[in-house]
Amino acid sequence: MAGPAGGQTLANTIALVDDDRNILASVAMALEAEGFAVRCYADGAEALKGLGAQPVDVAVLDIKMPRMDGMELLAQLRRHSPTPVIFLTSKDDEVDELLGLRMGADDYIKKPFSQRLLIERIRALLRRGDLARERDDLQGEPPIVRGQLTLDPGRHLCTWQGDPVELTVTEFLILKSLAQRPGHVKNRDQLMDAAYGEHIYVDDRTIDSHIKRLRKKFKAVDNEFAQIETLYGVGYRYREH
């Protein structure tokens, strides 16, 4: 992030939302030791109010919380914010993982989790955002137009037939990777690299869930949308026509 005059760099701010205060305290301490600014919330309702007033760079959300769980908090956040979100999920709860990804989470980590892994995933999401901003600043990256689709990376805008389609950062980067080369098949590894950066492993289902969510968003605008094709066992491609 750009710093104030004088060359100082502002710390990236991470929100931690979990009803387990022991987790909040230990993870906050680990993140602060890495130079992050941390804001902690013990429930989703408190977090929604705080994040609405002061946005953060990455939010780490527990799924199971009283008053407002992580799913509901994510749904509320996604109405007005593309903030990268990492879910903390129970180790056996695959349904939560998939539902969270379909709702627009960027990543998930199973409890009990390594603090080092969480820090690596946070850094990957921050690097991705920094790289995207640098590309836009240096090149003024032109919009991508493919028939009814327009993607404007510089303004993080997507339209279909002139209607806006609200995408998370991850969804936008996956779609951009496909639309840059219509007809060209991208495997899941290539889409992972495009969305998360190299050397970060996410489960294949993560990419599949993002693709399903992309299709759902476009079908909400145009029920005939069928531009993202699945080639089973191979990957995905954006139709040429």
Domain boundaries, the chain: 13-127, 141-238
Is the entire prediction scored with pTM above 0.75?
Answer: no
pLDDT less than 70: residues of the chain: 1-10, 91-102, 130-140, 197-204, 241
Contact 146, 238 (CB under 8 A): yes
Residue 6's pLDDT is what? 40
Residue 11's pLDDT is what? 78
Domain 141-238 has CATH 1.10.10.10: yes
Residue 1's pLDDT is what? 37
Residue 134's pLDDT is what? 60
Distance CA 179, CA 228 (A): 9
Identical fold between 13-127 and 141-238: no
Q: Is 17 exposed, middle or buried (0-12, 13-18, 19+ CB in 10 A)?
A: buried
Distance CA 150, CA 161 (A): 8
Residue 184's pLDDT is what? 93
Class (C level, CATH) for 13-127 = alpha beta
Residue 97's pLDDT is what? 61
Residue 4's pLDDT is what? 38
Residue 140's pLDDT is what? 60
Across the chain, the runs of DSSP E, i.e. the strands, are 13-17, 37-41, 58-62, 85-89, 107-110, 144-146, 149-152, 157-160, 163-164, 228-231, 235-238
Residue 222's pLDDT is what? 94
Residue 40's pLDDT is what? 95
Cα torsion angle, 19, 23, 27, 32, sign: positive
Residue 71's pLDDT is what? 86
Residue 83's pLDDT is what? 85
